[in-house]
Amino acid sequence: GENVEQHPSTLSVQEGDSAVIKCTYSDSASNYFPWYKQELGKRPQLIIDIRSNVGEKKDQRIAVTLNKTAKHFSLHITETQPEDSAVYFCAAGFSGGYNKLIFGAGTRLAVHP
């Protein structure tokens, strides 16, 4: 069936370092890849998304890359700050936000001052 694998499950970095989270999806029909950040006790918040017609997208310190051939996509956070500490979820879907999203298991990122 459809699934998304996400690694690592936990990630600890020093403030100012970069963090990379990787996901692999199984359904080759997927063409929409959002990333959500969930702080403790709060709702998952969309931080960036990419559609399959582009290979990379950036928004300030956050970037996402997509390799359709390998069915891999990754989240890159540069110059990490303590407020980046949260659980990050990758997801794969079809037709943008219209259809169901298949989520990875999440990565708990801790940024230490």
Partner 1 sequence: EAGVTQFPSHSVIEKGQTVTLRCDPISGHDNLYWYRRVMGKEIKFLLHFVKESKQDESGMPNNRFLAERTGGTYSTLKVQPAELEDSGVYFCASSLGTSAQHFGDGTRLSIL
**Sites of contact with partner 1 (CB under 8 A):** 4, 6, 34, 36, 42-46, 49, 89, 91, 95-106
Q: How far is CA 46 from CA 27, 28, 41, 91, in A?
A: 22, 23, 16, 11
Cβ proximity to partner 1: between 3 and 81 the closer is 3
- Residue 49 CB, nearest approach to partner 1 (Å): 6
- Residue 37 CB, nearest approach to partner 1 (Å): 11
Cβ proximity to partner 1: between 35 and 77 the closer is 35
Identify whether the C-beta of residue 48 lies closer than 8 Å to the C-beta of residue 64.
yes
Q: Could you tell me which residues come within 8 angstroms of residue 70 by beta carbon, excluding any fewer than 6 positions away?
A: 24
Identify whether the C-beta of residue 26 lies closer than 8 Å to the C-beta of residue 4.
yes
- Residue 113 CB, nearest approach to partner 1 (Å): 26
Cβ proximity to partner 1: between 18 and 29 the closer is 29
- Residue 52 CB, nearest approach to partner 1 (Å): 13
Alpha-carbon dihedral angle through residues 78, 4, 55, 76, given to the nearest 10 degrees: 0
